Amino acid sequence: MNSERFSRQIMIEEIGKEGQTRINAASVLIIGLGGLGSPVATYLTGAGIGRIGLCDPDIVSESNLHRQIIYDTPFIGKRKTDCASKRLKELSPDTLFDIYPEGINNDNASKIISDYDIVVDCCDNYATRYMIDDTCLELGKSWIHGAIGEFTGQLCVMNGKGGTKYTDLFPDREYFCSLPRNEKGAFGPVAGTIGSLQASEVIKQIVGIPSPLDGNLMIIDFLNLSTQLIKIR
């Protein structure tokens, strides 16, 4: 552990040297490397997570750049997993990065997720989230849900101590999975804020800090800066 690199983090009473040791030993899988995955990956790497899985089948497009802050213009047309791992290795050469350019699906979900302590949902569709939920429930893994839409964002700790499932939030799986993908506008700071909060929830879980989002959904409206905390079950 590089004490100088993490000195300001170790100074925090709730983390300290013991918490930093846990962070350095932890493994986290990030599913989706877009607007949410960019800040999640950056802050978890900076915090010193020892092993990070980067899962996304997409390539970088020019329309990504206003909010997907991990990429630069020269990355356009290249695989997100390759670009993200290259950038993150520069930030933390000691972190081990696994890349999954094939993405996650019903055939490989159990194998991939079983290798990590915590999963972060940074994807953009219901079907993948239900699959994450099923697999994490089967494997006894917690996962951090995040979603954004124009000026709103939401997040929740799933399958934590409170036992909240994604189906508690969206019980009608067949209906939501049948909805056509609808491309909406995206306000960059919403993605940055929700992604940062997801990274915060991961670190809190690793060091043992209880979260009010375990069993509760947080919704933020960035137009009027209002927040709601909704009990799921």
d(CA 48, CA 26): 9
CB atoms within 10 A of CB 165: 18
Model pTM?
A: 0.96
What average pLDDT does this structure show over 85-97? 96
Whether the pLDDT of residue 226 is over 80: the answer is yes
What average pLDDT does this structure show over 172-193? 88
Q: Of 132, 157, 156, whose CA–CA distance to 29 is shortest?
A: 132
Q: Percentage of the chain with pLDDT > 70?
A: 99
Whether the pLDDT of residue 233 is over 90: the answer is no
Whether the pLDDT of residue 134 is over 90: the answer is yes
Q: Give the distance, in angstroms, between the CA of residue 100 and the centroid of all CA atoms in the same chain.
A: 15
Residues 6+ apart with CB under 8 A from 76: 60, 61, 62, 65
pLDDT of residue 1: 60
pLDDT of residue 190: 97
Q: pLDDT by residue (tens digit) across 26-37?
A: 999 999 999 999
What average pLDDT does this structure show over 109-138? 96
What average pLDDT does this structure show over 174-200? 90
Q: Which domains does the chain have, with CATH numbers?
A: 7-231 (3.40.50.720)
* Residue 184 banded pLDDT, cuts 50, 70, 90: confident
What average pLDDT does this structure show over 163-177? 91
pLDDT of residue 128: 95
Q: pLDDT by residue (tens digit) across 45-89?
A: 999 999 999 999 999 999 999 999 999 999 999 999 999 999 999
Is residue 187 within 8 A of residue 141, CB to CB? The reply is no
What average pLDDT does this structure show over 177-198? 90
d(CA 133, CA 127): 10
